[in-house]
Chain A
Amino acid sequence: MDPSAFFTGTAVHLVAGKGGVGRTTLTAALGIAAARVGLEVLLVEIEGRGGLAAGFGHRALGYEETVLAERIRGRSLRAEDCLVEYLGGHGLGLLTRPMVDSGLVEVITRGTPGIKDILLLGKIRQLEQARCADVILVDTPASGHALSFLRSPQGLLDAIDNGPVNDQAVAALHLLQDAARCQVLLVTTPEETPVSETIETAYRLEDEIGLHLGPVLVNGVLARTPHRDTDTGHSNPDDPDPDDPDAEGRWVRELGIDRDLAHAVQQAAVFGRRRRDAQRRQVLRLTEQLPLPRLEVAHRPDGIDDLGALAEELLGGLRAW
């Protein structure tokens, strides 16, 4: 697939997943990937801790846009800012100050369920409508929270049956349900719990909200060892056999390898093989239970120091897809 077509196929990409799976990292890497194929990118962080900006060497994002790199801008959305802006734009401008000062704004955003989410989604929709970028990538809250976040328009429609907030909820729902405008990219690691959560979240997003799901990003996949076909899940006959107590001795006797080193090699081989096998089983389970395309991102044993390399890997994955 042409990466550019992937990115422009929908305006808004909501990147979601369990905490710690690499959502923020991949949101940033996707942004770089899109910029590299010539697209204008807006990265959006929600009620953020500033993680997105730091990947570009910036401290924290504010409500106003910040230029993070060539063709990449970022901003952080907070519900309070969205509300003040919204009031100003809806003929309540004069009352904005007293409403803020009296604390009514705070009580409303804190006390009216889902209104925060609606304000945030409303802002995202406005950014989309204003065509402020070719691609809008949103680092959404961690998965349990993502569900309630994305479900809020539906919830508010039930609770609030008129007024501008109702209009907002309707509009937000239209955005969420339109595959040409919005899709969710679920991020997971190839581990038991994240995979289970991803499968459950995927079905619920589709069933309960009618969201369109893009490819699942499987992050932190251990590189294949040479001489080993990890894809089939079958061990290569060349693999060190964890039950073969002989290999170690053979290396010492026949190859003159230091005894401690031979032992370490054997232990490392068994350890690595178990972790890889466990990962493969989870990827298989994901494939069987969730019929969505996958994009795999390799584990970086030394940590992430180059988002550009991740971006290239994603682009490669998209082209091969």
Chain B
Amino acid sequence: MVNERSGRAALAELVTSRSVLVCVGSGGVGKTSMAAALALEAARRGRRTIVVTIDPARRLADALGLERLGGEPLPITELIAASSGLRSGSSPTGSLHALMLDAKATFDDLVTRHATDRAQAERILANRFYHSISTTLSGTQEYMAAEKLGELHTSGRFDLIVVDTPPTRQALDFLDAPGQLARFLDHPAYRLMTGSGSAVSRVAGAAGKRLLRAAARLVGSVALDDAVEFFRAFEGLEAGFLTRALAVRDLLVSAQTGFVVVTSARPEPIAEAGYFLDRLAAQDIPVDAIVANRMTPRFTRLTAAELRRIAAAQDAGGDQVLRTGLAELIELTAAAEAEERALAPLHTGRAIPFQQGPFQQGPFQQVPFQQVPFQQVPLLDHDVHDLGGLEQLRQSAFDD
């Protein structure tokens, strides 16, 4: 099951047939780079593609060699065409856009669009509590990612949306966004603040007031007033938020969406990959491919041990250049061997023992790894920070 061919074929199937692809994995493994490479391949195959990053970092812009990226789709087809012959590919209809989620702008836009009138929109936008949650609240990023994804999907402008997630376990929180929103809106404390829910809250009135007073002592009365005012102003908008969040959740769990777990060949990121597999399995979402990125290239079939013996046999006064090169080859081969060992659990599907790596987090691997299509991508001799580099990454993943 685990072979390069099935991995390549799976990736090809994903970029040609899905509507949404989500890249997850731990930090530094190459999620953003791979997301861009997948999008590039889809565009080359003639699809109207957009790559969206919900990581507030600038990395996607960097990987594409762009100065900056904003919250609106930026067309980069022409740029790509110049460096990778996009237009000369099999189909002339493909295109590529890129976008970096701007949570605040997305939120503002939603409020403006869905408010019943200008006055309501203005009340919300001017509220200090709103201002803070829309800029700094953790969680807002995930909600807005879901909103943006839904918006891009329903706009019909794109055949494929590739989503690059932040390097945290919260990366998948947007799957829970509707549930959390529903729970929040149904929350006694929320109803306490908005004064809705009538009968129940009137009964709980006295106790409720005491709690609110305590909260006011904590965060200050002004802040609490702001919060209460925000929730009141927001009334009537919740239903729409919930409906859209549910629609996005349906899209994400449907067969239209593919999940790609990116990892590097080290014990810790592989354990993290296991966490993502479990997390997705818990929501009945299958992982469609695992990409092991940054694999040290093998230049020889000899083992590091054999190479060391050969090096030892070289006479000390021999060719300096050869000795340096051999030392390099030994180091690279040893690294490749360590990576092979780290990848073993992917091949056997066995749980990784706790002690294996210093930062191992315990066995998560309930999902058999070996049933997931697997693709290795080599470590390139340069970072991926321009279109040329990205094209090389794409070739390593897709071309034989």
Contacts and interface: CB of A to CB of B under 8 A. Distances in A.
A160 B219 contact: yes
Interface in A263-301: 263-275, 278, 301
Interface in A301-321: 301-305, 307
B82 interface: no
A87 B218 contact: yes
Contact of A163 (B216, B300, B318): B216
A28 B335 CA distance: 23
Interface in B204-254: 207-208, 210-212, 214-223, 226-227
A299 B152 CA distance: 41
A247 B332 contact: no
A226 B62 contact: no
Interface in A230-275: 238-240, 247, 250-251, 255, 257, 260-261, 263-275
A28 B268 CA distance: 15
Interface stretch (A34-42, A189-197, A202-210): A189-197
Interface in A107-150: 107-108, 110-116, 141-145, 148
A102 B332 contact: no
Interface stretch (B73-81, B85-93, B358-366, B368-376): B358-366
Interface stretch (A49-57, A62-70, A178-186): A49-57
B338 interface: yes
Nearest to A225: B324
A264 B329 contact: yes
B320 A238 contact: yes
B358 A196 contact: no
Contacts of A88: none
Contact of B358 (A95, A144, A273, A304): A304
Q: What interface size band does chain A fall in?
A: 35 or more
Given A116-B138, A278-B382, A104 B359 contact: no
A113 B332 contact: no
B128 A159 contact: yes
Contact of A160 (B138, B139, B222, B359): B222
Contacts of A112: 129, 132, 219, 223, 227
B241 to A, nearest CB: 15
14 contacts: A19-B28, A95-B211, A102-B211, A142-B166, A144-B55, A164-B218, A165-B223, A193-B385, A240-B321, A265-B325, A269-B328, A271-B381, A304-B359, A305-B357
